[in-house]
Structure 1
Amino acid sequence: MLSKSTRPQGTALRTTLRISAALAVLLATAGCVDSPEQPAASKVTRPPVESSPASPTPNLQSESATSSPTTGDSAAKNTLVEAFPKDLIPLTDDADVLVSDLETTDGTVSISLVATTKASPKQALKFYDEALTKHKFEALESNSAKGAASRTYTRGQGTETVNISVVESGSTTTVTIGAHLSPDSVDNT
């Protein structure tokens, strides 16, 4: 039996993979926009490449992760999932939800969200600083680079975490949120 302070590895892995997939899609589509700074592509023909037989895809989930009881799984595109704790983790007024997900496994509620806003990355993080500290979360670490930033929040002796990444792309900022919360926190919002 897992203690309350132990986060299930399978849930963390699935949430990380979902967030990574969402970011990969965003980065791939960001490269599809024409930019005057990029030279026009030249037409080059290449000989066809012979394909080799596909190798089997490794199973990234451990046996315990695949056998863990999971309840309340839901995902939604262009809207929040029904049970999303928007009082605990709110959205900016102008947010456009791209995808949201909520999964309950072994006493942990895992939430992921990708949305866009017209707020700058700095403004978006300030919004979440104020919202999460109001709910007794503490900002632990922050990383930033030109047009991008991330911050991690925790409470309950580290048993609940919220990770927020913001990336500026043109006139919008993409906000990606991953959270691991206790069911009581989600039920009380």
Structure 2
Amino acid sequence: MLHKLHRISALLISLYVLFHLTNHVIALYGVEAHIRFMEGFRPIYRATLIEPILLLCALFQVGSGITFIVRRWGQRRGFFDHAQAISGGYLAFFLVFHVSAVLYGRLVQGLDTNFFFAAAGLQPRAYPIFFVPYYTLAVVAYFTHLACGLRWVLQKHLSTQFLNRAAGGVMTVGFILGLTIVSTFSGTYYPIALPSEYCLNKC
């Protein structure tokens, strides 16, 4: 039952992640394009009924994911089995840290947690040595966990060779996407002028 609830919760979160990552890819076309897409999407995921459900799903994913890691400690075999546990562990860390930071920014600092909120830590005068791997690994971990989960679900229906190649392909896409998003928010493709309220250090 816990596995089934974990998958249902993961599906709900993935619907949000799909739009969230799309939003970040749109940033390739500029800050204004990113914010415009985000403002059109926000009324959905910040709706009174939907946002609490997403937050509860995130908490449940963290708790159930850690439970699975602990239960199967020392029992995992093979690359994908270990990759699923490692990526799940990182996602649990990221969800706790990132959701807490966003809620703190919104509710305590009174910031609009938009493009500039995410880009702030990636600027040269801020803390890119932490935030570059932090964000990149989050995208890699998500695609890795997704690939390993689907590989496990489909193992009775498709050949191991095909599933291994497909999982490897999905993980590669995650790595490329993670680097692309972080490069964009770092100011690689166009200059980013942070408003003063977003500066973590001297702008």
Q: TM-score with structure 2 length normalisation? A: 0.28
Structure whose residues are more often strand by fraction: 1
Task: Flag the structure with larger Rg.
Answer: 1
TM-score by length of 1: 0.30
Whichever structure has more helix as a proportion of its residues is 2
